[in-house]
Amino acid sequence: MNRFIIYIFGIFLLAQSNALACNFKIANFGSPKENIKIEPIQPVLMPDRFGGESLIIPMEDLCKNDKSLYGTVAIYLYIENKLTRIQLYRPNLDDSKLMDYAMGRYGFFNLPEGMPKTRWRGSYIWESGNDIIEYIRTDIHDGYAEIIDFTSKLYSAGMADYNAKVGEWLDSQQ
């Protein structure tokens, strides 16, 4: 009987943790930007010179019950009014919370032996169904950033064209 009670209690805790987990995927790939509604504010749309439009939403507005990713922003990139990429961006925080999230959700990857997670730089890619998930830890001006990119294989051609335009512009700035 005691095992049964412990088993039921464990299922209850698991269900509760899933209910409180942050769901930053508030739109499906391919859906229009008009589908995103965050109460009480409407996110600001920022067009760029490459044909994209980004909605930038702090995790504090998306995940009020889960503070584990506070300090992270979710950036929803729309190309031709279709959601093409979701990016979690966490700059200059002395932790590895996005790495921990990605490894816990999509699978572990090996780091160099003896190197702390916060000192590692590089990227790792997972595939899950039609989604491509890339974790990146890189140096930026005045520090470093953790990034998780979520893209759909169905919209990879549009993303490749967008990235080519960004690359051409970056090359012209040197």
Query: Minimal CA–CA distance to 158: which of 92, 93, 80, 106?
Result: 80
pLDDT in tens, 40-75: 777 788 999 999 999 999 998 888 888 889 999 999
Domain that holds residue 143: 2-172
Q: How much is the pTM?
A: 0.83
Evaluate whether 98 touches 90 at the Cβ level (below 8 Å): yes
Cα(48)–Cα(169) distance, rounded to whole angstroms?
12
* Count of CB atoms situated within 10 Å of the CB of 28: 10
Query: Minimal CA–CA distance to 24: which of 112, 150, 143?
Result: 150
pLDDT in tens, 95-134: 999 999 999 999 999 989 999 888 899 999 999 999 999 9
Provide the number of structural domains found in the chain.
1
Query: Which pLDDT belongs to residue 11?
Result: 46
